[in-house]
Structure 1
Amino acid sequence: METPVVSTPELEEEKMSSLNHAELQSRLAFLLMLSYRSEYSILTELDLEFASGKTRPDLCIFPKRTLDWMADEIVVHDVPLVTIEILSPEQSLNSLIDRIYKKHFPAGVKTVWIVSPALQIITIFLPDRQRINFTEGVITDPAIGIQINLAEVFEG
């Protein structure tokens, strides 16, 4: 007799990656680190746990952190300034938006970027449900002022 698969919120939150997803995650981390590594810590695939729930954004931007290489954290409870989510081919946009308004913003995240690879759009979501769509030019985060050129993100 087979054991039934039990669905849990943690399992439902797992997302599948893809070639484009991995490339965008690497590019965003590189471009952000290139310009902002002295001011911010840019971290990928970090497990976060807030009072509002567990989540694992593709990228997180924190104020510059000093690392202790002798002591690691498996789950981080500090709240990032910005989280970045890259829409995966198998992921629902509605479930992603639901997660950011139920977990990220209640925890105190200032802005959340959703990157839509197929449309080559980056949308910055704000806690008050406003959003800013970028289809070209320079993306500017209204909360912390970081900037990144959209053409470099989606280059060739």
Structure 2
Amino acid sequence: MEAVAQNPTDFEDEKMSSINHAELQSHLSFLLRASYRQQYSIYTELDFEFASGKTRPDLSILPKRKADWLADEIVVQDVPLTTIEILSPEQSLNSLTERIYKKHFPAGVKSVWLVIPTVQTVSILLPDRRQMNFAAGVVKDPVTGIELNLSDIFEG
């Protein structure tokens, strides 16, 4: 696939990062790869172009793919099974959930984790608008079967 220059406004609704955001993104990436790398490919900050719009989730979980170091993709067309979004300090919860329901689910994403750092919670959103909220214990995704301890995600 040929590399295409990106227009900075393509992802204008995306958030700015912070130290806590980066810490959580690192924790989640490490935890997911440690337990699920044989089953899934886990990516951070990957740009997707769906029919429903362009988006850059904090983490994306796709069926296992073999890395091809000779051919790269700048903007990915494949649809992740699950995306993970971490609420940033300058981002509103409404704008983030709106993006999830307008871009992720219409594209075929099966579940979205919404991580809220300030209250140390994870909500798993599903396309039918059901959601599971986790404030303690084990976060379990009904789509992928992925399970992570909330205390590991928010490890200090």
Say whether the fold is shared (TM-score over 0.5).
yes
Q: CA RMSD in A?
A: 1.1
Contact map agreement 2:11 2:54 (CA 8 A) in 1:
no
- Which ranges in structure 1 are unaligned for 5 or more consecutive residues? 1-7
Using the TM superposition, give the Cα deviation of residue 9 of structure 1 relative to its aligned residue in structure 2, in angstroms: 6.2
Distance 1:16 1:155, change over 3 A: same
Counterpart in the other structure of 1:28: 28
Calculate the TM-score normalised by the size of structure 1.
0.93
**Runs of 4+ in structure 1 displaced over 6 angstroms?**
none
Write the letter of the residue equivalent to 1:149: N
Q: Equivalent pairs: percent with the same residue?
A: 69
2: CA distance between counterparts of 1:11 and 1:127?
Answer: 22
Q: What is the CA distance between 1:12 and its match in structure 2?
A: 2.9
Deviations 1:57-108 (A, max 9, x none): 0000000001110010000000000000000000011011011111000000
Q: CA deviation at 1:15?
A: 1.2
Q: Following TM superposition, by how much is the alpha carbon of 1:14 offset from its aligned partner in structure 2, in angstroms? A: 2.7
- 2:152 aligned residue: 152
Q: Which amino acid aligns with 2:30?
A: F
Partner of 1:10: 10
Q: What amino acid maps onto 1:98 in structure 2? A: E
1:27-46 to structure 2, matched below 5 A, reads 27-46=27-46
Equivalenced residues, count: 149
Residue 68 (structure 1) aligns with = 68
Note the C-alpha offset of 1:11.
4.8
Paired with 1:43 and 1:125, the residues of 2 have a C-alpha distance of 19
Larger Rg: 1
Match of 1:118, SS state, is: helix
Q: Which residue of 1 aligns with 2:120?
A: 120
C-alpha separation in 2, matches of 1:54 and 1:13: 10
Secondary structure of the 1:144 match is coil
For structure 2, the residue ranges without an aligned partner over 5 or more in a row are 1-7
Alpha-carbon distance in structure 2 between the residues aligned to 1:85 and 1:131: 14
